[in-house]
Amino acid sequence: MNTRRAVFLDRDGTINEEVGYLCRLEDLALIEGAGSAIRLLNDSGYKVIVITNQSGVARGFFDEFFVRKVHEEMASRLSKSNAYVDRWYYCPHHATEGKGKYKIECDCRKPSRGMVDLAIKELDIIPEESFVVGDGIRDLKIARLVGAKPILVLTGYGEKTLSRLSPQQKSELPHIAPDLFDACTWICKYCW
């Protein structure tokens, strides 16, 4: 198996239900099939990497410790499906709404490529053999920036994102999936 391939996953609206700002652990709910979806990727030899904007830190809604607690809880729930995430990356910044040290123009906030570039470097990923899966236009843009294949899921903000794409943009997507499980099933059947 080629462990230099990766699937970069958005978090909110892709793996877990979109709730606006996830400020309480009790509001965390994985989307049905998310654990099985990630296990498919694990079993197929893909690195699974979460890349997520968490501007709630910059806005003062929660702190970085809470973001890490959410990721620990998600990892625990995913493990019940024998699934795991190889690496979690998040951007706590916002250029205009942030407070203190978090109010900066950064290169990690999607659609900037900072989180993906860091993962590529740290995990020796080949972006051209990788995918970015998410529910937002930012996810599609970052895939194009790094040379990965974009997949739109229709959970979270996915339906709204789809409605904003031109026919040309839709035709350039290799796959539009109703949810993460469908996206991962399609990826695992994808022929190189």
CA distance readout (Å), 114 to 16, 108, 144: 23, 4, 14
Q: Which of 10, 86, 139, 179 is catalytic?
A: 10
Residue 63 C-beta-side C-alpha neighbours within 13 Å: 2
User: Helix crossing, 137-146 with 114-123: angle to 10°?
Assistant: 50
The secondary structure of 80-131 as a DSSP string is: TTT---SEEEEE---TTT--GGG-S--SSSTTSSHHHHHHHHHHT--GGG-E
Residues in the chain: 192
| Active-site annotation holds for 27 | no
Q: Which of 12, 86, 179, 182 is catalytic?
A: 12
DSSP 178: S
| Active-site annotation holds for 12 | yes
> Residues with catalytic annotation?
10, 12
